[in-house]
Amino acid sequence: MFDAKELYAKLSRADAGFYTLDTCHTIAAKLDRIAELKQRRNAVILAHNYQRPEIFEIADYIGDSLGLSLQAAEVKTAEAIVFCGVHFMAETAKVVNPGRKVIHPNRQAGCSLADMADEVDLAVRIKDLRRQFDDLGIVCYVNTTAAVKALSDACCTSANAIEVIAAMPNRNILFLPDCNLGRYAAQRLPEKNVILWDGFCAVHQEIEPASVEAIRAAYPGLKVLAHPECRDDVVRLADAALSTAGMVKYAQNSPAQMFLAVTECGLSDLLAIQVPNKQFFRACKICRFMKMITLDDVISSLENLQPEIVLDEGVRKGAERSIRRMFELTVKEKIPPTLLNEID
């Protein structure tokens, strides 16, 4: 049973003013209902670090794209995975674990960045670039559709983009769709010719260097952590450019007491909840897609086991190959066993 007072004490750290004791009574009742349905449906709930704070309360695992795909692949006994994140993340869970029902509680929760590349445009671009570069390799960010992943040689996440591109045998690499992450990796890999796609995340693109500079100037000793989806002039101001899970780990382990997480606002909420002894400032923007999933959506998705992610098997296999390649190129010992049997 969830206790409204305990919830209030915790959630009000995330966004003071939004959560009241009254709303926490309603939230606690919904969380109890989800816990009961989750057991009845033999389901696990995976949640991305940008989700609403009340969603964290019923998640079995909270993480970044890399961690979530590893977790999804390792779900063995549960019958369903309820994925609280954006569509490409739920789709990735289905790609790596086709034997489970993957439920995405709100169909509208897409991703502006993933929408910037489709498989038709990619096929044309590959054909064109192969005329110039016969060793061309294609690396796609995980923020892409399964169809785009299926046309790529390897997938990567914000946590391992540099590692994946560095390990590709090709010198010429088409990286898509995020030009900011691609540029960030390319700057650190002068031996590679990284050709950038013209895409970006509309949320991170809006964060201006001035807002980071103002907070940094006011709080000496503050550590600035930026997501590599931010613009180059913002990433340059950071003490570290990290994936969302990397930022949580950094804040937990650093001796510093004050941090500025330059990314989507959900991460600042998560840090305030998970690292209560430190101080977090905000230079963030809200991703409306990440906030679309509500507790009511989760209840309804568990009641109906809908909306379900369904993939064409050819596309799924192609996407699985590019995700498997990501693990082969980086941490072979971490390859989820469900993907292992197809490696040799």
Give the footprint of ligand SF4 on this chain (CB under 6 A).
86, 111-113, 143, 201, 203, 229, 264, 287, 289-290
Residue 157 touching ligand 13P (CB under 6 A):
yes
**Based on CB atoms, which residue is closest to ligand SF4, 95 or 230?**
230
170 binds, among ligand SF4, ligand 13P, none (CB under 5 to 8 A by kind): none
Cα-flanking dihedrals φ and ψ of residue 241, to 5°?
-105, 120
65 binds, among ligand 13P, ligand SF4, none (CB under 5 to 8 A by kind): ligand 13P
**Based on CB atoms, which residue is closest to ligand SF4, 31 or 323?**
323
289 binds, among ligand SF4, ligand 13P, none (CB under 5 to 8 A by kind): ligand SF4
The single residue among 12, 112, 160, 244 that binds ligand 13P, judged by CB under 6 A, is 244
Identify the burial level of 166 via C-beta atoms within 10 angstroms of its C-beta, where 0-12 means exposed, 13-18 middle and 19 or more buried: middle
112 binds, among ligand 13P, ligand SF4, none (CB under 5 to 8 A by kind): ligand SF4
CB of 247 to ligand 13P, least distance (A): 8
8 binds, among ligand SF4, ligand 13P, none (CB under 5 to 8 A by kind): none
Produce one character per residue of 99-129: b if its CB has 16 or more CB atoms within 10 Å, e if not.
Answer: ebbbbbbbeebebbbbbbbebeebeebeeee
**Based on CB atoms, which residue is closest to ligand SF4, 228 or 318?**
228
Residue 145 touching ligand 13P (CB under 6 A):
no
Task: Please list every residue from 200 through 239 that binds ligand 13P, using CB under 6 A.
Answer: 201, 227, 229
- The neighbour count for residue 252, using CB atoms within 10 Å, is 12
Q: Cis omega before residue 177 (within 30°)? A: yes
Residue 322 touching ligand 13P (CB under 6 A):
no
Residue in 260, 264, 255 with CA at minimum distance from that of residue 281 = 260
Tokens linked to 72: 């999804």
Residue 330 touching ligand 13P (CB under 6 A):
no
Give the integer Cα–Cα distance in Å for 314 and 47.
27
Give the integer Cα–Cα distance in Å for 83 and 67.
13
Is the separation of the CB atoms in 341 and 166 below 8 Å? no
Bridge-based pairing of strands 258-262 and 223-226 is: parallel
Task: Please list every residue from 59 through 88 that binds ligand 13P, using CB under 6 A.
Answer: 64-65
244 binds, among ligand 13P, ligand SF4, none (CB under 5 to 8 A by kind): ligand 13P
Residue 214: partners with Cβ closer than 8 Å, 6 or more residues away:
none
Task: Please list every residue from 25 through 54 that binds ligand 13P, using CB under 6 A.
Answer: 49
AA letter at 1? M
Q: Residues binding ligand 13P: what is the number (CB under 6 A)? A: 12
Residue in 221, 298, 224 with CA at minimum distance from that of residue 268 = 224
Residue 320 touching ligand 13P (CB under 6 A):
no
Binding site for ligand 13P (CB under 6 A): 49, 64-65, 143, 157-158, 201, 227, 229, 243-244, 264
